[in-house]
C-alpha cells in the first residue's frame, strides 16, 4: 500500500471485507474528530494529525499523529495516541471496552480488530472526539514534562 496517496485511495485499495471494516472505523473517527485535525496518509497508514502549519516543531518532520488506522496482514490496527499517552485515559478506554463484553486485543499503542462486529464504534467516536487540537497539544506537552521530571528523579 505504499503507493496510495490519499485516504480514499487507501480504503479503495483494500479487499471488500477489509474495506468494510476500515471504512466503518474511519467513519466513526470522522463522525466525531474535532475540527483542525487533518486526515492524511503518513507512514503508510491513514492518519488524523495536527497539521505542520499548526505545529511544525516535530522531532521527525512529520505531522503530530492523533489517531491512525492501518490494515495489517491479520487485523486492522487503530492507534489512538492521546489514549495511550495517558495512563488514566488508557484505563478508562479499557474499562469502557470491557463493559461491552469484549476483551480488547491491545498492543502497546494500538487496538486490533479482525471483525466488524467486535469494533466498539461508539467508544471510538467518544475517544476520537475527546480532544481539540489545542487540548491535544497541551496534553502532549504536559505528558512530556511529566516524563522529563520522572527521568530527573531517577
pLDDT tens digits along 93-150? 999 999 998 888 988 789 999 999 999 999 999 999 999 999 999 988 877 766 656 6
User: Cell numbers 492501518 correspond to what residue?
Assistant: 70
Q: How high is the pLDDT of residue 152?
A: 67
Is the per-residue pLDDT at 1 higher than 60?
A: no
Q: What percent of the chain has pLDDT over 70?
A: 92
Query: What is the reported pLDDT for 31?
Result: 96
Q: In degrees to the nearest 10, what's the CA dihedral of 43, 47, 53, 58? A: -50
Q: Average pLDDT, stretch 1-17?
A: 89
Cα gap 26→24, rounded to integer Å: 5
Looking at the structure, give the CATH architecture of the domain made up of residues 7-153.
Answer: Alpha-Beta Complex (3.90)
What's the predicted TM-score (pTM) here?
Answer: 0.90
pLDDT digits 0-9 by tens, 19-57: 999 999 999 999 999 999 999 999 999 999 999 999 999
pLDDT (0 to 100) of residue 99: 92
Domain boundaries defined on the chain: 7-153
> Could you give the CA distance from residue 131 to residue 48 in angstroms, rounded to a whole number?
12
Amino acid at each position: 500500500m505504499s503507493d496510495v496517496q490519499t485516504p480514499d485511495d487507501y480504503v479503495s485499495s483494500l479487499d471488500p471485507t477489509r474495506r468494510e471494516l476500515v471504512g466503518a472505523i474511519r467513519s466513526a473517527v470522522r463522525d466525531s474528530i474535532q475540527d483542525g485535525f487533518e486526515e492524511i496518509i503518513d507512514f503508510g497508514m491513514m492518519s488524523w494529525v495536527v497539521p505542520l502549519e499548526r505545529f511544525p516543531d516535530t522531532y521527525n518532520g512529520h505531522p503530530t499523529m492523533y489517531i491512525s488506522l492501518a490494515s495489517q496482514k491479520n487485523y486492522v490496527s487503530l492507534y489512538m495516541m492521546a489514549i495511550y499517552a495517558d495512563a488514566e485515559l488508557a484505563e478508562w478506554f479499557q474499562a469502557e471496552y470491557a463493559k461491552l463484553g469484549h476483551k480488547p486485543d491491545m498492543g502497546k499503542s494500538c487496538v486490533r480488530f479482525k471483525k466488524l462486529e467486535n469494533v466498539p464504534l461508539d467508544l471510538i467516536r467518544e475517544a476520537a472526539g475527546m480532544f481539540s487540537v489545542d487540548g491535544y497539544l497541551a496534553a502532549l506537552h504536559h505528558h512530556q514534562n511529566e516524563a522529563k521530571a520522572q527521568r530527573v528523579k531517577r
